[in-house]
A and B are shown apart, each in its own frame.
Chain A
Amino acid sequence: MKALLLSLLLVPALVLAQAPVIEISGANFRPLPLASPAPSVQDGGDKKTAGAFDTAFTYDLTASGIFQVLDRAGFTADAKEGMTAASINFSRWADVGAESLVKVSLAQDGSSLRGEMRLFNVATGHEDLKVAKDAPANEPRKLAHALADALYRHFTREASPFLSRITYVRKAGANRDVYVADWDGMGAQALTRGGTHILPTLSPAGQVAYTSYRKNRPDIYVQSPGGEAKAVVTNGQMATGVAFSPDGRRIAYALAEGESAQIYVAAADGSGAKAITDTPYGLNTSPTWSPDGKRIAFVSNRGGSPQVYVMGADGSGVKRLTFQGNYNQTPDWSPRGDLIAFTARDERNAFDLFTVHVETGKVTRLTQDQGSNEEPTFSPNGRLIMFSTNRNGGAHLWVMTAEGNNQLPLPMEKGHWLTPDWGTAPAAK
């Protein structure tokens, strides 16, 4: 009897203690209205550092697709309001439509920057989360990504994309160079300097594989940031479109020979290469691995026009996946496994982005009437898609949700940025 009474008391208490989880997909999804006032700066902190933190933090929350970050111009709360529940006038936050309130306080101590973040439920006034993190004082953006990640994890129980890395190509004059950067394109490091280096992809260990014309023909190289480029595929006429398997141990790539191009799978160092397609006059390119490493999607024109196909990682069981349009290319398999994003060219010669469901074949359009949009790549948690677009002139990298909502440019300077690839694992921290 006692046990029964105890369980009756405990069960509701446990249920109440669980914080809400945001269900990200589905028809009922609604972004959470979140108020995020500018961080307060304690003694020793400087405004410029706080500004850089604030910009990165706000961008992360806005681009996440799960929050409706409220416009600060509408806020009516006292700017000097404190960080604790007792000092916060919650009705003022409710008046501007906030359901959650996140407050950050920054303090600088010598070369270290400390950020304390508190999250409140506006309706109840309850403090739901309190996190403190440190970063070097000259890297306020890193601190912003770490705190935004903590907030994302609190609401979704999933890793955010904010600590992950991307690689892309910058076109400048005749040169095409490979860079690695934080998820928002900032803090970029060049891997190559001058020449033509294209189609980079990140390995789970943080290495970058790309096609390079160093020896005046396209070969595949692998390189770590700060390390030397190592050639891994140098045979055939043209080796392109390399992709790492999810465990990083194997690579798949396309190798042109004569009038055909075949997909090969090899160990990550290029050894033991084996062709897994065999179409004498067809082109097979752009391989992308399923998250379990058992299947590979690729582009083939064996049916007359470039279409997305799926096969086993040993080349067995080839199945055509796309049937609409006559020019589908650059597939990227979602880390969640269900979708493959790809680029399709329409009759106006514009490129747009779509996803196709691997099992049902259902195609969903993600972009329309906004310039050419190409080269989709999923975030490591599968919730966001990055792509290159010329909608504002030049070529810029943008990000959107996997459903095509909330399309935003990366906060990078203007330039010619191409072929982004999002790593499969978060950066070590």
Chain B
Amino acid sequence: MGMGGGKGGGGRTTMSEINVTPMVDVMLVLLIIFMVTAPLIQQGVKVNLPETKATPVEATEKKVVLSIDAGKKVYIGDAEVPLEELETKLAANAKAQADKEVYLHADRDVPYGVVVEVMAAAQRAGIKNVGMITDPSTGGKASNPGNKTPTAGGAKGKSKEAKR
């Protein structure tokens, strides 16, 4: 990415910018990142969810739910899967492949890097959409935690806000 030295004729310059390419790739290739609030009946791992103000949209079908607990352990449904096997499992998962979509359910204390790693594994497995499951209890208007009906927070534009 030619970022360094535009002026000088012969002198070498040092690159000092942060290389954002890998992160941008991940964020762009995961085409739509939308938020899903509290599809609690779809998963079996308890995590503390980030709170958002995103407007929930209805999610009608059961999707594959990936969870990351506070101990950074990754689950498909309620089955723990080592991170290094996640891509293989998702690539061979008929449901995830049919939908090309999973829900991601990460504990609020999980470092951002771990979330990105999981998203990248999903992307390599051919998943196009990752729905971020968040907790609307204090943020949004749809304040019905524990609601049996899964709802998803929409709007690509708001995903940035959710991750801050």
- Spell out A's residues near B (CB within 8 Å): 33, 68, 70-74, 76-77, 89, 91-92, 94-98
Q: Which of B62, B79, B91, B94 is within 8 Å of A76, CB to CB?
A: B79
Q: Is B94 in contact with A97, judged by CB distance below 8 angstroms?
A: yes
Q: Are B98 and A95 in contact (CB under 8 A)?
A: no
Q: Which residues of B contact A (CB under 8 A)?
A: 44, 62, 64-65, 76-79, 81, 88-98
Is there contact, CB below 8 Å, between A97 and B95? yes
Contacting A74 at CB < 8 Å: which of B62, B65, B92?
A: B92
Cross-chain contact B94 with A33 (CB below 8 angstroms): yes
Is the CB–CB distance between B79 and A97 below 8 Å?
Answer: no
Task: State whether A98 touches B94 (Cβ < 8 A).
Answer: yes
Cβ of A95 and Cβ of B94 under 8 Å apart?
no
Decide if B79 touches A68 in the complex (CB within 8 Å): no
Let me know if B79 and A73 touch, CB within 8 A: no
B125's nearest neighbour on chain A, judged by CB, is: A74
A35 to chain B, nearest CB (A): 9
Nearest B residue (CB) for A77 = B79
Q: Are A92 and B79 in contact (CB under 8 A)?
A: yes
Residues of A within 8 A of B79 (CB): 76-77, 92, 95
Chain A residues near B88: list those with CB within 8 A.
73-74
- Are A91 and B77 touching (Cβ within 8 A)? yes
Partner of B44, one of A33, A68, A72, A91: A91
Could you list some 18 contacts between A and B, CB below 8 A? A71-B92, A72-B92, A73-B92, A74-B88, A74-B91, A76-B77, A76-B79, A76-B81, A76-B89, A89-B78, A92-B77, A94-B62, A94-B95, A95-B64, A96-B92, A96-B95, A97-B95, A97-B98
Q: Is A74 within 8 A of B78, CB to CB?
A: no
A96–B93 CB distance below 8 A = yes
Give bound CA distance, A5 to B31, whole Å. 57
Q: Tell me the smallest distance from the CB of B89 to a CB of chain A, in Å.
A: 5
**Contact across chains for A71 and B78 when beta carbons are under 8 A apart:** no
In contact, B90 and A74 (Cβ under 8 angstroms) = yes
Given contacts A95-B64, A97-B98, contact A76 B92 (CB under 8 A): no
- Supply 18 further A-B pairs (C-beta < 8 A) apart from A73-B88, A73-B92, A95-B77: A68-B94, A70-B94, A71-B94, A72-B92, A73-B89, A73-B91, A74-B90, A74-B93, A76-B77, A76-B79, A76-B81, A91-B44, A91-B77, A91-B78, A92-B78, A94-B77, A95-B64, A98-B94
Q: How many Å lie between the Cα of A71 and that of B97 in the bound state? A: 11
Residue on B nearest A74 in the bound complex, by CB = B92
Give A71's nearest chain B residue, CB to CB: B92
Q: Which of chain A's residues have a CB closer than 8 A to the CB of B64?
A: 95
Set of chain A residues within 8 Å of B95, measured between Cβ atoms: 94-97
Smallest Cβ distance from A92 to chain B, in angstroms?
Answer: 5
A92: nearest chain-B partner, CB-CB:
B79
For B92, the closest partner residue in chain A by CB is: A74
Nearest CB on A from B64, distance (A): 6
- Nearest CB in chain B: distance from A384 CB, A: 23
B44 touches A74 (CB 8 A): no
In the assembly, what is the distance between CA of A72 and CA of B98, in Å?
A: 16
Within the complex, the shortest CB–CB distance from A66 to chain B, in Å, comes to 16
Known: A74-B89, A91-B44. A96 touches B94 (CB 8 A): yes
* A74 with B94, Cβ < 8 A, contacts A91-B44, A95-B64, A95-B76 known: yes
Give Cα distance in the complex from A92 to B64, angstroms: 10
Q: What are the nearest 9 A-B pairs in CB distance?
A: A97-B94, A74-B92, A97-B95, A76-B79, A73-B92, A95-B77, A71-B92, A74-B93, A70-B94
- Chain B nearest Cβ from A142, distance in angstroms: 30
List the A side residues contacting B94 at CB < 8 Å.
Answer: 33, 68, 70-71, 74, 96-98
> In the docked arrangement, what's the CA distance between A33 and B94, Å?
8
Counting chain A CB atoms within 10 Å of each CB, the highest count among B77, B81, B90 belongs to B77
Q: How far apart sit A115 and B81, CA to CA, in the bound complex (Å)?
A: 31
Q: How far is the CB of B39 from chain A (nearest CB, A)?
A: 13
Closest to A96 in B: B93
Q: Looking across the interface, which residue of chain B has its beta carbon closest to that of A76?
A: B79
A76 contact set on B, CB distance < 8 A: 76-77, 79, 81, 89
Closest to B80 in A: A76
Instruction: State how many angstroms separate the Cβ of B152 from the closest Cβ of chain A.
Output: 19
Shortest Cβ gap from B76 to chain A (Å): 5
